[in-house]
Amino acid sequence: MRSIRIGSLLGIPLLINPGWFIIAGLTLWLLAFQFFPAVLPDSGRTLHIVMAVLSAVIFFASIVAHELAHSVVAKYYGIPVRSISLFIFGGVAHITREAARPFNEILMAAAGPLMSLVLGVLFLVAWVIADSSGPFGVVLAFSGFMNIILGIFNLLPAFPMDGGRVFRALVWLAVGDYNRATSVAAWVGRGFAWFIIFLGGLAALGINVGIASNVLGGIWLVLIGLFLETGARRSLTQLTYIEELNRFSLTDLMITDPPVAEADRSLESLARGVLEINPRVCYFVEDEGTLAGILSAYELREIPESLWQQMTAREAMVPREQLRPVSPSTSVSDALLEMENEGLLHAPVVDEGRVVGVIGRERIVNVLRQAGLVTG
Question: Looking only at Cα atoms, what is the longest distance across the chain?
Answer: 81
Q: What sign for the dihedral angle of Cα 140, 125, 112, 177? A: negative
* Residue range 299-310, pLDDT digits in tens: 888 899 889 999
- Give the pLDDT of residue 106: 94
Strand partners, 294: 284, 318
* Residue range 208-248, pLDDT digits in tens: 888 888 888 888 889 889 988 998 998 898 889 888 888 89
CB 357 within 8 A of CB 252: no
CB 310 within 8 A of CB 318: no
CB 126 within 8 A of CB 199: no
CB 135 within 8 A of CB 40: yes
CB 327 within 8 A of CB 315: no
Confidence of residue 175 (pLDDT cuts 50, 70, 90): very high
Angle of helix 45-76 relative to helix 135-154, nearest 10 degrees, comes to 40
CA distance 164 to 191: 12
* Residue range 62-109, pLDDT digits in tens: 999 999 999 999 999 888 888 888 776 667 777 777 788 999 999 999
Contacts of 183 (CB under 8 A, 6+ apart): 236, 239
Angle of helix 178-204 relative to helix 215-245, nearest 10 degrees, comes to 160
The gap from C-alpha 149 to its chain's centroid, in whole angstroms, comes to 23
The answer, yes or no, to whether residue 360 has pLDDT greater than 90, is no
Q: Mean pLDDT over residues 331-337, rounded?
A: 86
- Give the pLDDT of residue 146: 92
The answer, yes or no, to whether residue 292 has pLDDT greater than 80, is yes
CA distance 12 to 34: 36
- Give the pLDDT of residue 311: 92
Would the pTM of this model clear 0.75, i.e. be above it?
A: yes
Q: Mean pLDDT over residues 140-144, rounded?
A: 93
Q: Mean pLDDT over residues 321-330, rounded?
A: 85
Confidence of residue 117 (pLDDT cuts 50, 70, 90): very high
